Amino acid sequence: MRDDFEGISVFLEVVEAGGFAKAAERLSLSRSAVAKTIGRIEERLGIKLFQRTTRRHNLTEEGHIYYERCVRALEEVRAGQSVLEFGRFNVRGKLKIIMPTLLGRYCVEPFLLDLASEYEKLELDLRFSDLEQNLVAERFDLAVRNGLDRELPSYLNVRKIAIQNKVLCASPSYLARCGPIYTLEDIRHHDALVYWKNEQPCLWNFCDTGVTEFKLPPKWRLQFDNQEAMADAALRGMGVACLPRWLIHNHLKEGRLVPLLEKLPLASQDIYAIWPETKFMSARLSLTIDMLSDHLGKTVNFDRSLAS
- The runs of H, that is alpha helices, within the chain are 2-17, 20-27, 31-45, 61-89, 101-103, 109-118, 172-178, 184-187, 227-235, 245-253, 283-300
Query: In this model, does residue 307 exceed pLDDT 70?
Result: no
State how beta strands 122-128 and 93-99 pair: parallel
Return the pLDDT at 141. 93
Cβ–Cβ < 8 Å for 50, 60: yes
Q: How many residues does the chain have?
A: 308
List of domains in the chain = 8-84 (1.10.10.10), 93-163+269-300 (3.40.190.10), 166-259 (3.40.190.10)
pLDDT in tens, 215-264: 666 678 899 989 999 999 999 999 999 999 999 999 999 999 999 988 88
Classified as helix, coil or strand, 27 is: helix
**From CA 299, how far away is CA 103, in angstroms rounded?**
10
Mean pLDDT score of the chain: 83
> What's the whole-number mean pLDDT along residues 71-82?
67
Residue/partner pairs of 257-260 with CB below 8 Å, 24 or more apart: 257/169, 257/170, 257/171, 257/231, 258/169, 258/170, 258/171, 258/172, 258/175, 259/167, 259/168, 259/169, 260/168, 260/169, 260/170, 260/181
pLDDT in tens, 133-192: 888 888 899 999 988 777 788 889 999 999 888 999 999 999 999 999 998 888 888 989
- 273 CB-near residues (< 8 Å, 6+ apart): 142, 143, 144, 158, 159, 161, 289, 292, 293
